[in-house]
Structure formats: C-alpha cells, structure tokens
Structure 1
Amino acid sequence: MDPVDVDIADYDFLSDFGDPDDHLDLDHDHDRDDGDFSDAEIEYYLNSTNRLFGRQRPLHLILGGVADIILWRNKEISACVLGGATVLWLLFEWMNFHCLSLFCNVLLLLLASFFIWSNLAAFTNIVPPPEFPDVTLPEGSFVEAALLLRREFHQAIRTLRDDVILGTDFKRFLLVTCPLGVLSILGSWFNFFTLSYLVTVMLMTMPMLYESYEDSVDDFVEKSLVEMKKQYTLLDEKVHHTLQNISSC
C-alpha cells in the first residue's frame, strides 16, 4: 500500500506488524480468481463500450467473494440466505415477534439444551456435546478494517464538503439528494425491517437476472442514459437561466 493513503501515525502503527503491504491491501482485485473466465470472455468485456457503470469485467469478478451466493452459483447457500431472511421477516412482521425477545429465547433454549446434554453425558453413555472451537483472529485484519472505514469516511466527508455543500456541480448535487428523497419516500411506506428484507431479496435476485440478460439490459440502460442526459441538459439550462434572472433583479 502506498504510504500516502494513510497518515504517519497509522503507518508507524502498522509497522509493528511487519511490512504494511503484507497486512494491508485495500485493492482486492488481484485476489479474485479469474480462472472461471477464458481469455476470450475477458477480451469481450474489455472491448464492450456500453456496459452498465462502464465495467470492463464480468459481474462475477466484480462481486468478489460473495459472487457465488448472490449469483446463485452455490444454490444451497443462496437458498439458505434467502429462506432465512424470509423466515425472520415472517416472524417479526406477521407473527409480531420482538427481536430482543426472540434472540434471548433462542439463546436460553440453546444454553439449556447444552447444559442438560453435558450433564446427561456425564452419567450415561450418550455422545457428549461438541467442544467449542478456539477462535483466533489476526490483529492485522482489525487494523485493515479500521483503516479502510477511516479512509472511506474521510473520502465521504470530503465529497460532501467540496462537491455537494460548497460545490457548483448541479448534477453531483442531484446524485446525492435524489437517493435521499427516494429513501425518505420508501421509509414512509415500509418500516426498517421490511425495507431491509426487500433489499435482501433484490440483492439475491436482481444480479442473477441481470447476469442472464445483461446484453439486453445494457443496451436499454445506454439508451435511457442518453435520454436522461438530454433532459438533464434542458433542466440545467432552465436552472441557470432562473438563477441569472434572480441575480439580475
């Protein structure tokens, strides 16, 4: 990692763990396995100019470690994730369970089951309960996560300050404020848990459908973006004209 990306204190702290490059690598692109894609497929994406968000690699490579789950390459785990989210939503929304009560009841049931199991195993010949594994987490992983969050937080603050609050780019201002308005409207229609469930369902379905029909979707999005740019140009001209009229008064 380039020392410019972190300040001197962070870099000195990382030196206690050895070479920072051995522990901290914020660019995970080189860790992704390209073995599932042939050279012809990679070249096809590199030569494509109308890919969504300008991507030049297959969707599976961009999503990284969660690609097999989101794109349903591992159908068992994907089904468990979607099914588990559905069960939780039904428990909390339809059966009016409370999150804290459900968590405590499940934990009490597990503790009581293991307690009875371990005591019966001491007086009978039943199989003893499994031992809890020792969990060891490297310290470097926490440092990496903390510095990554710190870097993203500072980048977000700089973007809001320089490009939105103090900036003059009306397009960037719309890109920030419009999603907030959409989330505000959605928040008035659904509660937080239902909205989270809907986001989970979308994450587990939309990328898979997009990968199946990406050529058609990319063509449609490209045409839509061209039309949106035309409408934005007209809106921008009207806003500047209105501001000029106000300033001249």
Structure 2
Amino acid sequence: MPIYSSDSDSDQQTYTSGRKLFSRERPLHSVLGGGPVADVLLWKNKSISAAILVGFTAIWFLFEVVEYNFLTLLCHLSITVMLVIFIWSNGAALFDRTPPRIPEIVLSESAFHHVARTFHTKFNQFLVTLYDIACGKDLTLFLLAIVFLWTLSVIGAYFTTMNLLYMGFLCIGTLPALYERYEHEVDYLVGRATRDMRKLYKKFDSKVLNKIPRGPVKDKKYK
C-alpha cells in the first residue's frame, strides 16, 4: 500500500502534481548523462554495477581492515600477475594450451585524448563554478558552500579519507538506483517535509522575528 494513502485529498493531489526532487524536469537517467555511466549508477547492467561495487569493497577491505600499504599492495599484485603469466606461458606447451597474449594497445590514442579532453572541460567548468561561488554572486549559494565545507571538515575529523571515499562511493552507487525505484514516494516525502519546514518558518517569523523591536524609521527629506 502506498505510504501516502492515509493523507488528505489535498496532500495526495499535491503529490500527484508535485515537483520532482531538485526541481528536475528530465528523467533521472537523462540527468546522469544518459550513457554507460548512468546505466552503471542506476544498475541497468547489474553484473557490471555489482562487479564495480565488489571491487571497491575489496579495495576498502585491503586498505582499512587488512591495513595494506599502497606500495606493498601494488608490488604484491604485480608479483602475483607475473607469476600467473610465467606459469601460464611455460606450462601452455605441456597442456596443449595457447600462451597468453597481451594486446599491444590496451587504450587507443583516440580514447585517451577523448578522456583527457572531457576531464579538461569538466575541470574548467568546476573551477569557473567555484570562482563564481567564491565571488559571492549568489550569497545563499556562498553560505551553503561554506556550511557544507565546514560540515565536511568536521566529519573528516572522525573518519579516515578511505572511509569517506568508500561511503561516498556507496552513496553514489546505491542512492540513484534506490531513488529511481521509489521515486514517487521520495518526491512525496521531500515535498511534504518542505511544506512542513515552510509552515514552521512562518510560525517562527510571526511569533519571534516580527516581535523583535526595531528602531524608528526616519522619513527621508527631499528638497
């Protein structure tokens, strides 16, 4: 049974015609880029999404639980890969198997240039946005950025960088898919919470802010 079935008719009507989360108008898949990255984030291809999640979990486990050093882990992985290739190459003739063949070009030059151009464009856009916020063109956005960075610094004092990166990856890898699945319920709850917050602010404004004494306003004299 939907979570909004027990509410009033006006609330249900607001839900059915309400705004989407973050006032978006396009589908979530389109907002996320509409490409392979969006498919991974929304778990359209469950095998790839699960493999990436398991891979990041294994990395977090090795660094945080086993407490591997990055250089030590890199050397151990290289030794393991070299031993596997050595055994495979020298034992292929004994078992009538084809020896391993590493492709000469793992990443094509065009693909590398495309990734570099994309990163350059996104990084420049990020710097321009950061500069606009720092200039204070939008005071609300500037204050929100300050509060967000301060909150992030406080959280960072209690968690290691690896834990923060892993929790951020978990949120990125799971929340979009969960939101797409329960989109209507989330939009309804967020809209209802927003309306409640506005009502509380109106009460606070009428009972507290409006009762604060203010000095007399002098009329300006015009010659």
Instruction: Indicate whether the TM-score tops 0.5.
Output: yes
**How far off is 1:158 after superposition?**
3.3
Residue 209 (1) aligns with residue 178 (2): yes
Q: Which residue of structure 2 lines up, in the alignment, with residue 7 of structure 1?
A: none
Q: Which amino acid aligns with 1:101?
A: T
The percentage of counterpart residues that share the same residue type is 39
Structure showing greater relative contact order (alpha-carbon pairs closer than 8 Å, 6 or more residues apart) = 2
Q: Which residue of structure 2 lines up, in the alignment, with residue 94 of structure 1?
A: 65
Cα gap change, 1:194/1:165 in structure 2, threshold over 3 Å: closer, same or farther? closer
Q: Which amino acid aligns with 2:150?
A: G
Q: Which residue of structure 1 lines up, in the alignment, with residue 189 of structure 2?
A: 220
Q: Which residue of structure 1 lines up, in the alignment, with residue 133 of structure 2?
A: 164
d(CA) in 2 for partners of 1:229 and 1:143? 53
Gaps of 5+ in 2: 1-15, 210-223
Q: Which residue of structure 2 lines up, in the alignment, with residue 110 of structure 1?
A: 81
Q: Which residue of structure 2 lines up, in the alignment, with residue 78 of structure 1?
A: 49
**How far off is 1:220 after superposition?**
2.4
Q: Give per-residue Cα distances to partners, 1:194-245, cap 9 Å, x unaligned.
A: 11111122222211221121112112223444536985xx7xxx9xxxxxxx
Q: Give per-residue Cα distances to partners, 1:76-132, cap 9 Å, x unaligned.
A: 22222222222222222122222221121111111122113212335x243133211
d(CA) in 2 for partners of 1:112 and 1:181? 48
d(CA) in 1 for partners of 2:110 and 2:18? 39
Q: Which residue of structure 2 lines up, in the alignment, with residue 134 of structure 1?
A: 104
Q: Which residue of structure 2 lines up, in the alignment, with residue 191 of structure 1?
A: 160
Q: Which residue of structure 2 lines up, in the alignment, with residue 22 of structure 1?
A: none
**How far off is 1:143 after superposition?**
4.1
d(CA) in 2 for partners of 1:146 and 1:113? 33
d(CA) in 1 for partners of 2:118 and 2:52? 27
Say which SS state the counterpart of residue 44 (structure 2) adopts.
Answer: coil
Q: Give per-residue Cα distances to partners, 1:164-191, cap 9 Å, x unaligned.
A: 3332532011232222122212211111
Cα gap change, 1:175/1:151 in structure 2, threshold over 3 Å: closer, same or farther? farther
Aligned length: 188
TM-score by length of 1: 0.62
Specify which structure has the higher proportion of helix: 1
d(CA) in 2 for partners of 1:144 and 1:225? 42
Q: Which residue of structure 2 lines up, in the alignment, with residue 31 of structure 1?
A: none
d(CA) in 2 for partners of 1:229 and 1:66? 39
